Amino acid sequence: MSKKKSKIPENTIALNKKARFEYYIEDKFEAGLVLQGWEVKSLRAGKIQLNESYILLKERDAFLFGALITPLPTASTHIRPDPQRTRKLLLNRAELNRLYNAVERQGYTVVPLTMYWKNSRAKLAIGVAKGKKTHDKRQTERDRDWQLQKQRLMKSR
């Protein structure tokens, strides 16, 4: 009995597959997150969605909007958890300046790519991205389908 190997590393919490389909990723950064205790517990249970989330740069800080962290039913009773609260990203000043320059001057956007564990801390991989046109998305789909067909053909022979 052989188990199928997945391409997702085991320390990954959540992926934003939509980001790679919608954008060309130019540059990547690693950011820490300011989280509350109940959020960390939910992350360990895998109760997060990054699909509709985005990153906003304001007042020389970066914030994660729209990430849904579903609270566990065993969350503390003395707090009222907000599943879609705004979470601050922890980046150093040089990284923030590079992000600001890319977004303001060159017309790029910043998108969350993956969330993962690193030394028992939750990290968020963010990317500086340029939007794809419709024909680029179709080409990406064609390439992906061709890769799948190629694998099936090689496997059958």
pTM: 0.77
Q: Within 65-113, where are the H helices? A: 93-106
Q: What is the pLDDT of residues 54-97, one digit of tens each?
A: 899 988 899 999 888 888 887 666 777 878 889 999 999 999 98
**Phi, psi (rounded to 5 degrees) for 23:** -135, 155
Mean pLDDT for the chain overall: 85
State how far the Cα of 140 lies from the Cα of 117, in Å rounded to an integer. Answer: 29
Which band of pLDDT confidence, cut at 50, 70 and 90, is reported for residue 4?
low
Q: What is the pLDDT of residues 26-39, one digit of tens each?
A: 889 999 999 888 88
Q: Residue 15 burial by CB count (10 A; 0-12/13-18/19+): exposed, middle or buried?
A: middle
User: How many residues in the chain?
Assistant: 157
One-letter-per-residue 3-state SS of 7-31: CCCCCEEEECHHHHHHEEEEEEEEE
State how far the Cα of 124 lies from the Cα of 54, in Å rounded to an integer. Answer: 12
Q: Which residue has the higher pLDDT, 105 or 100?
A: 100
Instruction: Indicate the helix (H) or strand (E) that contains 79.
Output: none
State how far the Cα of 90 lies from the Cα of 78, in Å rounded to an integer. Answer: 27
Model pLDDT, residue 102: 85
